[in-house]
Structure 1
Amino acid sequence: MSDQAIDVEAVLADLKDFQRRTAVWAFDRMFDETDPATRFLVADEVGLGKTHIAKGVIAQVIDYLGQTGDKRHDIVYVCSNLAIASQNVRKLAPRGVKPIEGVRRLTMLPLAQLDEGDATRRGINLLAITPGTSLQFGRRTGTFPERALAYAFLRAHWGAEVMASRPARRIFWHGIRSGDPNKRLREWERWYRPLIAPSLDEFGRRLTETDTSRESAGEPSIRALFDELVAELAYKRAIPWRLYQRIAELIGEVRRVMALVGLDSLQPDLVVLDEFQRFKDLLQTEPDSLAAEMAQQLFNYTDPDTGRSTRTLLLSATPYRMYTTADDLEGDHYEDFLATCSFLFGDETRVESLQHRFRELRTALTARDTLDRAETLCGDISKELCSVMARTERLAATPDRSGMLNELDTAVPVTPVDLRAYVRVGGLAEAVAHHEPTEYWKSAPYLVNFMEAYKLKDAVARAAESGQLDDEGLDPGPGLLSWEDIEQYQQIDPQNGRLRWLLDDLANHRAFELLWVPPSMRYYDAGSVYESPETTGFTKRLIFSGWTVVPKAVSSLVSFEAERRAFAARDHRYSAKYRRRGGQRLRFRTPERAGHARPGEASGDRRAAAMTAFLLTWPSPSLARLGDPRPQAPRQRPQGPGIGDKATPAAGDRTLVSDVLDRAASRLRKAIEPLTRAAPADGVVDRRWYWAAPLFLDQQRTPEVIDLLLGPDGSGCWEDDAGRRLRAHIAEARAMVDYGPGALGRPPGDLVEVLAELAVAGPAQCALRMISSVCGLPVSDDEGTVEYAAWIAAAFRSFFNAPEVTAVVTSGHSAHPDDDEGEGRYWRDVVRHCVDGSLQAVLDEHGHVLRDWLGHLSLADADRHRRAADDDRRWEAAHDIAAKIAEALELRTSSYRVDIPVRKRKGRKKRKGPKIAFDQHRMRTRFAVAFANQTLERGGEVRVESVSAAFNSPFWPFVLASTSIGQEGLDFHLWCHAVVHWNLPSNPVDLEQREGRVHRYKGHAVRRNIADAFGPTLMEAGLADGTDPWSRLLDMAVAERSDAHDEMVPYWVFHQGPAKIERLVPVMPFSRESAFLPRLRKALAAYRLAFGQPRQEELVEWLGTGRSEEELLRLIERLRIDLSPPELP
């Protein structure tokens, strides 16, 4: 729906220049007056922003239709995933267009109340659907809302008396376990009743058509099937499988009818198909299923009034299989490419002409003296294809066409213990008559312990259970894990070359000593591990493997090594309970009160005993302003000793942490002097000053914040479902504020110094400043800024409460980390760790890239205080950023099952050997995780979306292992630019797709290089209060861009600097991969020459014979089929 005109120029201006060219070209081709391409493909390389291009096309289409006098515009976005649909439909909506929310299935479209528009305004209907839920039914019963809608339609069509019985309603509420399903069904029907009234006639017509089709096929009508079911359900308490199948058949048929009704209500002007290769069966020109017929009805709609046909915009980086080998079983590039062209052109004559040209090109390519002819043919083919498609690639953005890619040396030695493990596993495989396990052994250690759903593991388990293995078959040793070693935190030999390389790689980068990735641009030097040469170049590791056992084994063993190092000073065992392992240091404690409440304390039977933990979560606008480290760049450093005892001189004139802390302390001393002036000068030190002083400052300067956070509903700012412990601490804070400083005794001597650290790097203050600068919101003038900062701070408390995180924070302390003294000072350790780790710089960088990644418009500093009444973009951005950071920090420790063979007592029955069973244990994963739904350590499940959010943050996990190869829609570039090819893919395109996951807009490598190039200049110039540092940095990079480059530089590619997209291939010497890798590299250089050709592998091999990679690159440049859109006039 729309409430204002679409500003097309503003939408296009938000696009980068190469995106804008594609958006304009796609629109021009689709609405060309003489030869329109009603179907157009945007095939830009992965990560180049096809969704944003689609938004530009949508804006132009809406504007064009408005100029033709149309009052109603329907735009349908089709993608393969409900979560992606929900996220992207908002990104696709131009300003002024509100997408139709809550309708993701055609079956539910009759409820949408599509906007028809009128003489004064246009009706714009932008909605998203998914083929899996909207166009494919089978015998599925759908969701409860769908079944309730089916019930409402049938009740309105057949009459209330037909549907009144309990057996009739039971058909539709079957499967609902909670509450009263019968009541729920009737309530939903009453809600739906007025909404479906306009669609009843169409529903009746489609139902009659369905009955006619069923009866002609010898099947009963829908009504007859319904009556049969009602009769059977009248006397059955349980529903047998046969009857359930008939129920599913009935509901499936009614869902089809509802989908057809929904489809009939659409008048699609534009259909956007995202990653359409996932549902190519729906694009067949001669549909062989109802789903394909419905899709064709959507694509081939013609407006009865104007005669204008629907335009279809296809989005995909891999619209067809880009490269296939003789060994590929799923599809062929040539056939796939021709099928795509047939759909786009809709004219077989043009497709046949294209085939002929490609045949000529192959002949010219294989005859080296006819390359001039090949060059001409490439130009002709480019011109023809560009009429229906466009593709932009990032490789051309660097002088050497590398796109910032660098393959690093990853030598993987094989040790004797690795070979002994191979012998052990090979012997087990031979004993159970399984094939030779070399590929398994090369990929993962301790296979018998970690494998699940593998035939080798199942065979070994059966043999062990039946006593067929010899006495030494499954004892701990080479190839088999010792659980006692795990329990005692003994160092576990990797027994696998690739895993040993990964552990060494992480140790060499000192990654086990970090809790977050160091910022690309820090504001000061603290002399900490986060600034060491080893860590400043660290980026997260994304691992791709072809075996499902690899993510499980890698995440378990790497996380164990991280724990082992962190808990080196502890004496507890691996399976110790959470608290025994040193967690929950920042919990809100409420012991029973020993006496009467003192002045400034809340009354009650229990007292708040962790107010310093509460202090860490308090977003103080006063401290945020007084301790902002960003404007400190670099000023004249004060003379004399500073607070930052770890600071060491750095090269150049970089600001030291002592400077930053001294400046903050100076401001704070002046601010709190009126508060402490009347305080006692002797007596016992009152440590309540640490948490009370910020409250008093905020009460003076921003009383609205006190009223919000300490008000009746204040606990909701930190937790949706706040417990009594948090409420008790809020009550304590409120009581102290109400009483005033007179309740306190002598201030601690280091009060100012402690508050200075808290002001500079406290999680709540850092979050508050980040939200303000990134979203263009005042630090405290609005309640929402403080509320979202509190949300993030609460997530940090959860993060620092984790035992393994606590161990990293407290490592190196002389006192025992589990004693009372250690717990009492832990909050100070956390703050100091945040100072040393430049948390403000980390959050500023993360907030900036999150804002864009989540689809929010970038907000210029000059525009940051503009507050139009209808402009809620900033609040939406702040909310989404806070939610994503909290989701990442609150990722709970998950675990995987590990099977440990144990001997059982022999029974009386003689056996071939001792009976062996598998005891199930669990290994935790936090530092490294697998990309899959995971079981939580204490029950429940971690969804893959949460795993993605955590990896796309600077915080743990640092390693993500996946079996996914080139999965569309997956972004991992925010804090990762290193891809580990644990197992090599079979073709070069899959290799590029993997690496494309981390080579995207404002990726980690790009940011590191930009910070290296322009950070010193920015720090020298200084930053104004509230400025987004990364917007300034990128503006500087844009200003220095050469006229020869488009806006892919610097946002996607910025090759000047130390960071590259790292290709890591841990290959064992003399292995099959060591011989295959050079061939894969050459195929990577040559496969573009085989575009549109059959038998690509043969052609690539022929073209590569006798040519170096450099010669191939020159040949590609000359004979490239260029699908780039034309330059704008």
Structure 2
Amino acid sequence: MMEKELKDFQKATVKHIVDIFKSKKQRRVLLSDEVGLGKTIVSKGVIQAVGELSDEYGIWNDNTYRVVYICSNANIVKQNTENLGIEDVMNIEESRLSMQHFIVAKKVKELIEAKKDKPSILIPLTPGTSFNLQTSAGNMNERALMFAILSHVKDFKEHTKALKNRLNIYEANNDNWENTIKKYENEVSEIEKVCTGYRENICKEVVKDDNYQEAKNLLLKAIEEKADYNTKNRAITQFRIIFCKISMKELNPDLVIMDEFQRFSSLLDLEGNSEEAMLTRTFFGKEDGPFILLVSATPYKPFTTLEELNENKIDTQYQDFNKLTDFLFDNREDITFQQVWHDYSKELCHISSDNLDILIARKNIAEEAMYQAMSRTERYRNSAQDDTHLKISTGDIVSYCQMQEVIDECNKMSEGRFSVKTLPMEYAKSSPYLLSFMDKYKLKEKLVKAYVENPWNSNMQKQRLLLKTNDIYKYNDIPLCNAKLSKLSNILFDEKGEKHGEQLFWIPASHPYYKIPANNMFAKNHDFSKVLVFSAWEMVPRMIACMISYAVEQKSISRAFPSATYTNTKENSEKDALDKQQGEKAGTGRLRRESLELVTCSSDFLTDAYNPKTNLGQDIKEIRANIKENIKNTGRLTLVEQPTTVKFLLEAIRLLDSNAGEKILISEDGLDTLVNMAIGSPGICFYRLLGNKDLAQEAATKFCNNIFNRRYNAAVIDILYNKKSVQTYFKQVIDYCVMGNLQAVLDEFAYMIDERSNGERNVEMIQKRMIESFIDRNYQEIDTTESFGKEKKKKWRIRTHYAMPYGNIRMTDQATNRANDVRLAFNSPFRPFVLASTSVGQEGLDFHWYCRKIMHWNISSNPQDMEQREGRIDRYKSLFVRRNVAKFHPETYTWNEMFDLARTEAKDKGFCELVPYWSIPQDMLKSIAETDREYIESIVPLYPLSMDYDRYRHMKSVLRLYRLTMGQPRQEELLESFKDMPAEDIDKLLFNLSPIKRKK
């Protein structure tokens, strides 16, 4: 990604943070800007500003500027490190803390050899792998490096062979172990050539450690005796801890950034006895330690309900707040923050109209004290709530009753020993066909076991508990049987059936270059948005991905090809058994080699034949007519009756691009196709954008294969154009791209990737990012009526493409990479259009480029979670912002010009640069017709007569006022004091920790 320029409020925040550091009173600062306001960009500004400080502030001690970036998971690291402004970034795959002494030394060696002046290094760490030593033996790389060092320690020199064997936990992988040993021996030797004394220094540090004798004795015992697995592990764990402490010392950071640190707040517990506390004391436990920037929109649990308080007997919010402030203000002699906060809290607890002035004075003192270690800026509100009243179907009720009937049957068969008596209502409200989707749930495991031992008497084919194999195979319509799923389906596909969102292959352009007929699906869906769904249950993302993606295929394929069947295996998934009677392909390969060459070709003549800027705002009919006339006026055409073929068109394009002056034979229909190609052919659009034929050809080919060579999308084209012809398919594809304003779509996407003007853009980066958006479909394996309870029956594989699940609780390396691919695809105009996640996608990630709708499948337990979720799509230049800005200035061509004009208007009205890049206040929206204004839509589906109504009403009231109870015990009781307070008095009690707003 390109570097984003800091906005005025971000620059003010950077200055405030660095001024605190420069005061030499405070080395720990909290950056707590509201979710979505670019805390990573502010962090980049802080990194740059701290790096420009002189060595009197305790940096540049070894002529390198070292920044340690601690983050909760590898996905966020991959997203954010490229935006932090440091070129030399350590590989996150090598983030094991016990190895960092070696990794840093290797990087320093490289920088010395490169002769870089005052180099900067970014060192990413993740607590799960870096700080947590619960996997006691570590991985092979850790143990191989350990051997490379310990084999040179005096106590182990005579035991090198035995040491090597004992450190090889998995003896079967002996070849790999030997190769890994050689790798690290060689690399340590290479470091020694440049950083003389590196290994000797590390050996000395090992021996000096307080725990060395104990660790040595354990390991020697394991060497000298035939120790069991656990004994070897304990010995290795001891040395891992020693090497971790050495690494912490050798990292010697100038600045530590802890991003979303509330996820690993145990690292702040400097007094504890945990491994994390022991290790982080090396970082934070000294007065002249590094500058520390804590980054989080929710630095502590913002609200503890009375229900949570009574259940857990702990006021988590109150404890977290005190723990955070104790850490921030540690070693401050000029501020007794606890006393200041106590004085404010005492007044707040006895709030009345009589003592309001005294309370405000106490609040101002507390605010000033907090401002010396904190910064927080908040946006203007842009959301529109949709408290959806759901309609329960017969399917909802039958699904619940049948599931309960099965549980009753199991209890009856086990004579009451079946441990589950009733189906949890939240399960029934969250998902249909529960036994198809609730894998890894204890309830399903128990039911499977009961079914295997004694199959239920009821006919499984009649149940609403499992998807029917035959229904999927024949592309039958499958009842949704869940009101929430029906609501989502209506949002996407329109309950009246007029918009047909399943026929869209990309999100309509926010700033279309020309007008298309009002009855075209892109015109009908001009306000269409992707949907981000959050659920409390792990089964829900899988269910949504399967049910919605299947519904899209069913709506297209079964309508276009009634005889089609659902291919179930990976090997056969690309075979087209759709319309064998006519012998036609309807899926992969529909754009055959020559057709694909035509729609992806780059032509200078056709690229120049249409100028989007010159024709901005015109009707597509007028543009087509003008281009056609201009091509005719070249004097090179001879109209003939010859049928339009791909070869015919490719030859015509070759001659148009040449200067040979040969006459070009072409039919009227062929000329119309050339006109369409000039406006919207993928090859021409990519070429017009990238200016490089090779890059354009590669991108257009990936684009066409990913979209138009999918059988379910080919079926959509057949439905729209009412034809099933391989010979004319390429014409329909090109026309679809014209109607879909493909050039405007790609230009908008390119702007989001790189905001710079055309001449300055990195077209290779843009092309790479676009190609990354064209991901393969995923598959979810589910139980059906055929496979349930049968070991030898394979589960059914459902393709997921229109909707996809994001991440899972067990984030392996493969799952992390897949989740990153899905995130990139969702942040593109192309499918998937629905992303369903649990809390794993709730913090620290961007999903806002093409999404302005969020659906809370389950009401979260804490009000702040609702804001965190919304913050995923309410971010910098998000979809609703771009669409509104485009409506302010439809006559303006480039996005930079539109935003510059909108910013000028906002500045004239006294707004900082939050407007228009993050928020658009009502004062500015008034210039747009009310029906055309767009907002963040927060959809909360509520079953009638359920407890969710009361919970949601209560949560909305808490959301309005909970900030007033920050850092106070028993918050819910305190909120009662503010219920009848006038809004202007509430405003006076809100803390202002925003540098830009305090300047005004």
2:470 corresponds to which residue? 484
2:685 to 766, 769, 781: 766
Shift of 1:31: 0.9
Distance 1:625 1:249, change over 3 A: farther
Shift of 1:554: 2.1
How do 1:708-723 residues align onto structure 2 when only pairs under 5 Å count? none
Distance 1:83 1:683, change over 3 A: closer
Distance 1:141 1:792, change over 3 A: farther
- CA distances 1:23-61 after superposition (whole Å, capped 9, x unpaired): 10011011115xx21100000011111111112112221
1:448 corresponds to which residue? 435
* Cα distance in structure 1, aligned partners of 2:966 and 2:549: 43
**Which stretches in structure 2 are left out of the alignment for 5+ residues?**
412-419, 579-583
2:414 corresponds to which residue? none
Shift of 1:517: 1.3
* Cα distance in structure 2, aligned partners of 1:204 and 1:1119: 57
* Cα distance in structure 1, aligned partners of 2:620 and 2:815: 43
2:211 corresponds to which residue? 213
Shift of 1:917: 10
Distance 1:843 1:452, change over 3 A: same
Is this contact kept in 2: 1:364–1:374, CA < 8 A?
no
Shift of 1:285: 2.6
Note if 1:372 corresponds to 2:357: yes
- CA distances 1:198-247 after superposition (whole Å, capped 9, x unpaired): 3212211222135x625448x7254554555xx78xxxxxxxxx53x555
1:111 corresponds to which residue? 106
1:31 to 19, 22, 33: 22
- CA distances 1:441-497 after superposition (whole Å, capped 9, x unpaired): 12111112322122332233233223363335x342445533322322222222221
1:518 to 489, 501, 508: 508
Is this contact kept in 2: 1:40–1:388, CA < 8 A?
yes
Is this contact kept in 2: 1:100–1:125, CA < 8 A?
yes
* Cα distance in structure 2, aligned partners of 1:588 and 1:382: 65
* Cα distance in structure 1, aligned partners of 2:764 and 2:219: 48
Letter in 1 for 2:484: R
* Cα distance in structure 2, aligned partners of 1:383 and 1:844: 46
Note if 1:897 corresponds to 2:782: yes
SS of alignment partner, residue 938 of structure 2: strand
1:45 to 9, 34, 57: 34
How do 1:650-729 residues align onto structure 2 when only pairs under 5 Å count? 654-669=617-632, 687-695=646-654
2:887 corresponds to which residue? 1012
Shift of 1:803: 1.3
- CA distances 1:958-995 after superposition (whole Å, capped 9, x unpaired): 21222227732221111111111111112211111111
* Cα distance in structure 2, aligned partners of 1:572 and 1:117: 63
SS of alignment partner, residue 211 of structure 2: helix
Shift of 1:109: 2.3
Note if 1:837 corresponds to 2:740: yes
2:529 corresponds to which residue? 539
1:951 corresponds to which residue? 826
1:1040 to 884, 889, 905: 905
2:872 corresponds to which residue? 997
Shift of 1:1059: 0.6
1:636 corresponds to which residue? none
Is this contact kept in 2: 1:358–1:1092, CA < 8 A?
no
* Cα distance in structure 2, aligned partners of 1:903 and 1:1124: 57
The alignment-based identity, stated in percent, is: 27
Note if 1:127 corresponds to 2:46: no
* Cα distance in structure 1, aligned partners of 2:869 and 2:473: 36
Distance 1:301 1:621, change over 3 A: farther
Is this contact kept in 2: 1:411–1:1067, CA < 8 A?
yes
Number of equivalences:
943
Letter in 2 for 1:369: D
Note if 1:500 corresponds to 2:467: no
Is this contact kept in 2: 1:226–1:250, CA < 8 A?
no
**Which stretches in structure 1 are left out of the alignment for 5+ residues?**
1-9, 233-241, 303-307, 398-402, 590-607, 634-653, 701-739, 772-778, 852-857, 866-873, 905-914, 1024-1028
1:618 corresponds to which residue? 601
Letter in 1 for 2:306: A
* Cα distance in structure 2, aligned partners of 1:1030 and 1:300: 49
* Cα distance in structure 2, aligned partners of 1:185 and 1:285: 36
* Cα distance in structure 1, aligned partners of 2:618 and 2:139: 59
Is this contact kept in 2: 1:1008–1:1059, CA < 8 A?
yes
Is this contact kept in 2: 1:894–1:942, CA < 8 A?
no
Question: Larger deviation: 81-90 or 751-760?
Answer: 81-90
Is this contact kept in 1: 2:652–2:666, CA < 8 A?
no
SS of alignment partner, residue 260 of structure 1: helix
Letter in 1 for 2:77: A
Letter in 1 for 2:104: L
How do 1:1015-1030 residues align onto structure 2 when only pairs under 5 Å count? 1015=890, 1017-1018=891-892, 1023=893, 1029-1030=894-895
Distance 1:410 1:789, change over 3 A: farther
Shift of 1:389: 0.3
1:752 corresponds to which residue? 671
Letter in 1 for 2:682: P
Is this contact kept in 1: 2:849–2:873, CA < 8 A?
yes
1:266 corresponds to which residue? 251
Is this contact kept in 1: 2:576–2:585, CA < 8 A?
no
SS of alignment partner, residue 558 of structure 1: helix
TM value normalised by structure 1: 0.77
Letter in 2 for 1:336: D
- CA distances 1:236-268 after superposition (whole Å, capped 9, x unpaired): xxxxxx53x555545544444443343333332
Distance 1:786 1:1116, change over 3 A: farther
2:150 corresponds to which residue? 154
Letter in 2 for 1:335: Q
* Cα distance in structure 2, aligned partners of 1:827 and 1:132: 50
Distance 1:1077 1:682, change over 3 A: closer
1:631 corresponds to which residue? 614
Note if 1:563 corresponds to 2:553: yes
Distance 1:259 1:457, change over 3 A: closer
TM value normalised by structure 2: 0.86
* Cα distance in structure 2, aligned partners of 1:443 and 1:960: 16
- CA distances 1:410-431 after superposition (whole Å, capped 9, x unpaired): 2211233432332222222333
Note if 1:62 corresponds to 2:51: yes
Note if 1:471 corresponds to 2:346: no
Letter in 2 for 1:31: K
SS of alignment partner, residue 127 of structure 1: strand
- CA distances 1:633-689 after superposition (whole Å, capped 9, x unpaired): 2xxxxxxxxxxxxxxxxxxxx411123333444454566x66x78xx9798876413
2:83 to 87, 91, 94: 91
* Cα distance in structure 1, aligned partners of 2:598 and 2:165: 55
SS of alignment partner, residue 384 of structure 2: strand
Letter in 1 for 2:274: S
SS of alignment partner, residue 768 of structure 2: helix
1:648 corresponds to which residue? none
1:868 corresponds to which residue? none
2:581 corresponds to which residue? none
SS of alignment partner, residue 839 of structure 2: coil
* Cα distance in structure 2, aligned partners of 1:941 and 1:135: 19
Letter in 1 for 2:546: S
* Cα distance in structure 2, aligned partners of 1:163 and 1:626: 78
Letter in 2 for 1:294: L
Note if 1:879 corresponds to 2:764: yes
Shift of 1:1048: 0.5
SS of alignment partner, residue 327 of structure 1: helix
SS of alignment partner, residue 937 of structure 2: strand
Shift of 1:694: 3.9
2:417 corresponds to which residue? none
2:297 to 298, 314, 317: 317
1:460 corresponds to which residue? 447
Is this contact kept in 2: 1:626–1:759, CA < 8 A?
yes
Distance 1:755 1:189, change over 3 A: farther
Shift of 1:188: 4.6
